[in-house]
């Protein structure tokens, strides 16, 4: 029996996580669930966005289903107490360096894409985003210039081991798919990216069967809307991966459709699974959130952390069938509530 920690968080986090939990329950598997406080909800109750008891639960669990954190009322808090520190802290504490973000066009959703249907139809890609380095975790601070102007800095840095291990995840993933890997960087400007490219080329020697292309991030953003079907696996750093994956989500219809897995090794023993979106304060509490990304994250949890491919596929098939039957939340142009969308997925579960 596995222990699944549920960290629902803030805003729409609890709304979408509730639907994912319903789907997991309906599978009738013998797993145990334990809820933990995280983000703004944890700060309100316990004075810290990632309290020790939540961190302890995360370490004890076999896998974590995460909702989202973030609360506009807490934007003024010092950075270390902001709700977002909870997810950053979990990624660092659990060593979750590999973030897999699949973007696939679901049949019937072409019209919801921001792209023309004939362009959108061919999208089937995975963004492999490095998750514990880069400007997100580099030295940061505030100060004043000699002229007395306020300044801020965030250090972008990677060492060769950090680049090599995420590159390997990208190559392994590509090897199992169409054998096309695009490494995205900004090596024409950034020293960090030059090292990135050097190391990716070294790792490539172990994967002669994978076709490797290097692409600058500005071009990648453009190609992602021009010809997204050309991408198979994209490997990139923390910042570029964060931005490109939100962009990829609109190419397949909605940010409410993209799940993710954050792993600390290729097969992942303990992993954290979350929709790529945030707490969406603009729609929180209104029953408008699309729960598909959270439900699909639960499928990734079963696949990567619990080695239960059959159950993962049952969930994915149910989401495809629910979409196929016309179920749509407002972000997809429909009028299903969050719960009604969950109902549609449950009804389609075979």
Ligand X SMILES: NC(=O)C1=CN([C@@H]2O[C@H](COP(=O)(O)OP(=O)(O)OC[C@H]3O[C@@H](n4cnc5c(N)ncnc54)[C@H](O)[C@@H]3O)[C@@H](O)[C@H]2O)C=CC1
Ligand Y SMILES: CC(C)CC(=O)C(=O)O
30 is annotated as an active-site residue: no
Q: Is 178 a catalytic residue?
A: no
Active site residue 218: yes
Would you call 140 a catalytic residue per the annotation?
no
Task: Tell me whether strands 32-35 and 261-263 are parallel, antiparallel or unpaired.
Answer: unpaired
User: Does residue number 134 form part of the binding site for Mg ion (CB under 5 A)?
Assistant: no
Among 16, 11, 17, 76, which Cα is nearest to 39's? Answer: 11
Is residue 88 part of the contact set for ligand Y (CB under 6 A)? yes
Using the 8-state DSSP alphabet, how is residue 55 labeled?
H
Enter the tokens of residue 206: 């172990």
Please tell me the distance from the alpha carbon of residue 109 to that of residue 290, in angstroms, as a whole number. Answer: 14
Look-up of token digits 């081991």: 161
Q: Does residue 256 interact with ligand X by CB under 6 A?
A: yes
Q: Is 277 in the site for ligand X (CB under 6 A)?
A: yes
Bridge partners of 149, per DSSP, are none
The window from 67-75, 178-186, 241-249, 310-318 that contacts Mg ion (CB under 5 A) reads: 241-249
Residue 4 pairs in a beta bridge with: 33, 63
Residues 6 or more apart whose Cβ sits within 8 Å of residue 51: 37, 42
SS3 (DSSP) at 168: helix
- Interface with ligand X: number of residues (CB under 6 A): 21
> Pattern of binders to ligand Y over 237-276, x per CB under 6 A?
-----x---------------------------------x
Which position among 68, 100, 258, 300 is part of the footprint of ligand X (CB under 6 A)? 68
Instruction: Please report, as ranges, the residues that interact with ligand Y according to CB under 6 A.
Output: 84, 87-88, 242, 276, 278
Catalytic residues: 136, 186, 218, 242, 246
Instruction: Please report, as ranges, the residues that interact with ligand X according to CB under 6 A.
Output: 12, 16, 68-70, 84, 87, 255-256, 274, 277-283, 289-290, 293, 331
């Amino acid at each position: 029996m596995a222990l699944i920690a549920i960290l629902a968080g803030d805003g729409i986090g609890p709304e979408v996580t509730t639907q994912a939990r319903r789907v997991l329950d309906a599978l009738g598997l013998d797993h145990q669930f334990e809820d933990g406080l995280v983000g703004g909800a944890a700060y309100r109750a316990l004075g810290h966005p990632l309290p020790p008891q939540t961190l302890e639960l995360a370490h004890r669990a076999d896998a974590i289903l995460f909702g989202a954190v973030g609360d506009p009322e807490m934007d003024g808090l010092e950075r270390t107490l902001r709700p977002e520190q909870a997810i950053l802290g979990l990624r660092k504490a659990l060593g979750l360096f590999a973030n897999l973000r699949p973007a696939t066009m679901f049949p019937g959703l072409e019209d919801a894409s921001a792209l023309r249907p004939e362009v959108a139809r061919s999208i089937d890609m995975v963004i492999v985003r490095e998750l514990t380095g880069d400007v997100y975790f580099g030295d940061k601070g505030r100060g004043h210039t000699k002229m007395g102007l306020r300044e801020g800095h965030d250090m972008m840095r990677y060492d060769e081991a950090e680049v090599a291990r995420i590159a390997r995840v990208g190559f392994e993933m590509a090897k199992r798919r169409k054998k096309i890997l695009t490494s995205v960087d900004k090596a024409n400007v950034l020293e960090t990216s030059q090292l990135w490219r050097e190391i990716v080329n070294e790792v490539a020697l172990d994967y002669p069967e994978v076709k490797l292309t290097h692409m600058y991030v500005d071009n990648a953003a453009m190609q992602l809307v021009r010809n997204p079907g050309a991408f198979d696996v994209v490997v990139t750093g923390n910042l570029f991966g964060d931005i490109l994956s939100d962009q990829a989500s609109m190419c397949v219809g909605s940010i409410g459709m993209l799940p993710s897995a954050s792993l600390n090794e290729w097969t992942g023993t303990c992993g954290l699974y979350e929709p790529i979106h945030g707490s969406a304060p603009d729609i929180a509490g209104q029953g408008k959130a699309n729960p598909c990304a959270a439900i699909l994250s639960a499928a990734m949890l079963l696949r990567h952390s619990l080695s239960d491919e059959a159950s993962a596929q049952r969930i994915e098939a149910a989401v495809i069938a629910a979409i196929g039957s016309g179920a749509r939340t407002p972000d997809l142009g429909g009028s299903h509530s969050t719960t009604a969308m969950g109902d549609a997925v449950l009804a389609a579960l075979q």
